[in-house]
Amino acid sequence: MCGIAGYIDTSCRSDIALLKKMAAVLAHRGPDDAGEAFFQESTFTAGCAHRRLSIIDLSPAAHQPMFSDCGTVGIVLNGEIYNFTELRSELEREGVRFSSNSDTEVVLRAYMRWGMPAVHRFIGMFACAIYDRTQRKLFLLRDRTGIKPLYYYHNNGLFLFASELKSFHEHPGFTRELNLESLSLYFKYACIPEPYAVFKYTAKLRPGTWLAYDLRSHTTSEHVYWDPTAFACMPKLAIDYAQACRELTALFSSAFSYRMVSDVPVGLFLSGGYDSSLVAAVLQRGMSHRLKTFTIGFHEDEHNEARYARNVAAHLATDHTEYICTHRDAIDILPQLPLIYDEPFADPSAIPTCLVSRLARRDVTVALSADGGDELFGGYTRIHRALRNTRAAEAIPRFFWRAPLAALSALRPFLKTGSMLEFKRKYARLLAAGALGRCKNLELCIYNEFDEDITALLTGLQQLPPTRFDDQQLDCLDDTLDVMLCLEYQTYLPADILTKVDRASMAASLEAREPLLDHRIYEFAARLPSAFKVDGNQLKKILKDIAHDCLPPELMQRPKHGFSLPIYAWLRKDLRELLLAYMNDHMVASSGLLDRRFVAVRMREFLKGNDDLGPFIWKTLMFQMWYCRWMT
């Protein structure tokens, strides 16, 4: 795991000193080694830099940037190619010779042998830049699911790329001009989805995409090499449930084993839920030593999953470490969040994720994080709610919704801001207008945010930009569950979950691997009949049944909690001083972006005990803290 950065500057003012500064702020991603390569061409300067966290081949032979024997092709890579040994053997049979044992060299040689189509052979998580002086092109490449981040900036003859936005701030040519449309998405989703970024002229490379920068014309073009929707649209597999379980179990075994390939110690984040417990059970069964597992708990019972993780660890006999998170930990970590997540990010579980990453880093350099099971197999309760809402919306003509809309609209002056009745009024309005498609239904079930609120909050915003929830391509899917899972996989998973885990783990110089996000698992799961995944009230059916082959059902069957913490209670009490420091009228007005009255009304209601407003208050606090760190 590493950090990468670089530039192409047609003004020729960028030098190697700037390159080193861009890489230095990524030292947390790679504390073990650093390297740069600088090129002075006739019409531009170019450079790429690397910070290394040594995982595969710890020797100096794996140093980056890494170059071809002829020196015309160079690469910087962040991530891991898990099947690099097999690819290396294939290349060696074709006469290719290697000088290291690293997966980076395999990517370099694969590109030189097969060109960009080599990406279809990679199993792994990766974000890389390939500088090809012969083709006169720079290629940026990101893994299929978006596990590893990659930003780029293109304006006034300057092209920048980096693993994190903080690198761009080190370049004097970077323009820190906020993108109001991206901010609107942040206040809707609590994160900024691809391809948007918080600054203008800046973007995130989409998952499953590579970008080519032409060094002659100084133009860019994007190419999609993997699209989850294409697999969701394929015909369902003609297999019975027992066969599906067998094939999926084999895929799990292969994917989980790949993620254990390392020259440094590996552990696992264990929540006690089905996903991480399944990974722990499969891995521990095939190991001669005890798997190291780590979990975070809370004193508040309604948020505490540590006891479940403890029971699973005891059953599997893992080497388990547990830490109880308190408000004092939140006070310590909160000021660091704007630096760790260097664009606005408001998932409160970033706090325990940072804590568990620090906890794991004491003993291991790599930790598996079992994210993706809910998005693959329908594990979120909101999926069930969205399915029910969709059936109702499709079964009842829209004019039947006018009566409840009229009743709720008449009560509007008496509805509490952010209340469930207020939400239902807005929902009924969409139903009465016939505007509630399956994609929008899921969007509202996930985020409970309406465009009208955000346009009132953000001064000068006219409308929100389009996202995957507006993608007409998904209309080809007849099955509502297929639509919802495909959307979850391309929106909430990369923009929120994977961003959270990558930044939190890398801030601790810990590599986080995602065994359930092997693309082979998605390609198989997307073509399974929906009843194998959600059967009536039973969510994530097939994954749970496979887990029951490894773990006693009575150990696993309990209500789903999720990785949550009592942040709203803390904000009213132990963190109240911090909340008021950033959310007072003067601080809210300082950016000139937020409507002060809009925020003030919701602050008063929240402090009186209205938890429905908790998500908005947290998003606004995280934005205020980010703005103070990066824009003042």
For residue 14, give the CATH number of its domain: 3.60.20.10
Residues 218 and 238 in one domain: no
Residues 54 and 198 in one domain: yes
In a domain, 562, yes or no: no
Q: Which two tokens stand for residue 14?
A: 């960028």
Predicted confidence (pLDDT) per residue in 544-591, tens digit: 999 999 999 988 877 665 556 889 999 999 999 999 999 999 999 999
**Could you tell me which residues come within 8 angstroms of residue 5 by beta carbon, excluding any fewer than 6 positions away?**
19, 22, 23, 26, 48, 49, 160, 161, 162, 163, 167
Q: Are 17 and 494 in contact (CB under 8 A)?
A: no
Residue numbers of the domain that contains 190: 2-226
Please say if the pLDDT value at position 140 is more than 60: yes
Determine the Cα–Cα distance for residues 29 and 23; give it in Å rounded to an integer: 10
Please say if the pLDDT value at position 408 is more than 80: no
Residues 518 and 474 in one domain: no
226, 260, 295 — which closes off a domain?
Answer: 226
Residues 311 and 409 in one domain: no
226, 250, 268 — which closes off a domain?
Answer: 226
In a domain, 310, yes or no: yes
Residues 586 and 526 in one domain: no
Q: Which residues are catalytic?
A: 2
201, 226, 251 — which closes off a domain?
Answer: 226
Residues 220 and 97 in one domain: yes
In a domain, 561, yes or no: no
In a domain, 298, yes or no: yes
In a domain, 620, yes or no: yes
Write b or e for each residue in 99-108: b if 16 or more Cβ atoms lie within 10 A of its Cβ, otherwise e.
ebbbbbbbbb
Instruction: State residue 421's pLDDT score.
Output: 79
pTM: 0.94
Alpha carbon distances (Å) from 233 to 159, 230, 274, 375, 519: 36, 5, 27, 16, 16
Residues 504 and 463 in one domain: no
Residues 155 and 189 in one domain: yes
Predicted confidence (pLDDT) per residue in 362-383, tens digit: 999 999 999 999 999 999 988 8
Hey, which residues does 223 pair with through a beta bridge?
210
Alpha carbon distances (Å) from 228 to 27, 74, 474, 483, 486: 33, 30, 11, 11, 7
Q: What percent of the chain has pLDDT over 70?
A: 97
Residues 372 and 314 in one domain: yes
In a domain, 446, yes or no: yes
Other Cβ atoms within 10 Å of 620 Cβ, number: 25
Predicted confidence (pLDDT) per residue in 50-90, tens digit: 999 999 999 999 999 999 999 999 999 999 999 999 999 99
Domain count, the chain: 4
